[in-house]
Structure 1
Amino acid sequence: MSPNESTDRSPLSRTPGVPAPLPSRRGGDVAQAAAAALAPPPHFVDGRVVVVEADPKWPYLFQREADRIRGALGAAALEVEHVGSTAVPGLSAKPCVDVLLIVPDPGDEAAYLAPLEAAGYALWHREPEADGHRVLRGPDVNTNVHVYGPGAGEAERLRLFRDRLCADAGDRERYDRTKRELARRTWDSLDDYTDAKAALVEEIIGRARESAAARAE
């Protein structure tokens, strides 16, 4: 699985017409917010993965989510970072803002889940075998919040991948071109699309590790 994606367990059909992320919140109570968070994501439509041009709103939308998460969790939010393709300036991406949230123990859901649900997030799925990974989704902007604990290897992969794409124009162009090509195909699931670019993702992370090791010498 790509480091900036999570398994999509939602229904795969959706009414045509993909809404762009907007800098506005939906009204309503917590139950309505949760329902909105668990609605099918807008980046997989009728077997096609939606990849759009880089949007200057993405950093703003991340910061808004980060502020909301920190406001809900306080000191329990050890780190909140923008990851995934929307964190890379100029890179095309699915219209989904990926957030990396580090908490003391992702297995202790009682310590963070209820405050985040009260803030409008909803638990999307659990992947405890992958460093305790949980994914929450936001109520208005298409957002995935990836929850890990301190020192999680998967969290390191997210950072390495993001930082390499930000720093290296060659890898950024390869990844951009690959995503655009794959987005022109039809897929049975989002996982199939993710698997199709997995080899390139691993190459990029490998080069990121090599570069980091060279700098450390």
Structure 2
Amino acid sequence: MPAIHDCADPASLLEGVRAARTAVAAGRCIVIPTDTVYGIAADAFSHSAVAALLAAKGRDRGFPPPVLVADRPMAAALAERIPPEVEALLDAHWPGPLTIIVRAQASLTWDLGDTGGTVALRVPDHPIAIGLLRETGPLAVSSANLHGMPAATTAQEAADMLGDRVDVVLDAGPVGGPVPDGAANGSTILDCSTDGVVRIVRQGVLPREAVAEALGDLLAAE
């Protein structure tokens, strides 16, 4: 089983973040808390680390992982452009349970899978995740569960499912909250890669009404 670090204990938190940083640098996978679910994370710029992440979940290249970033400048560095029409939405919900799909910078030397030249970006609303991202840079992250299983909302659930597929688990206690009927237990994902229209490709805990309030007619009809 992976080492589980209790982030409520300052000494354990320090040790855990150091271990997580070392594991990421070595191309290994870790488990981190976010505001919605626990995530399995790896260096977004390491081809082998991303492949290990997908293998750990039992997924193939057809399921490219999103990329977590610490802030909007880090996101802007990975995107060809952030559509100005979504800036008000980001003002309201970054950090938070919102993922946007945009065109990726063509110069980036990474391989997240079959992305079609796009990247899904999110700034998570969790201090431990943000702190780690500031040290490691962008991390490819997917929910910390086996494909087809419920997303983990506790560190122990993630560790039990993923086992030795991950090196380090940062335990910040239960995460997430109530999930609206019919929604996924995770972030709401918007496709912003086509000019003039935004589509919800996964309805998560951020409700459609909150998205529509910021985007107006830019949001495609259901």
Query: Scaled by the length of structure 1, what TM-score is found?
Result: 0.29
Q: TM-score, normalised by structure 2?
A: 0.28
Q: Higher helix share goes to which structure?
A: 1
Instruction: Select the structure with the greater relative contact order (CA < 8 A; seq sep ≥ 6).
Output: 2
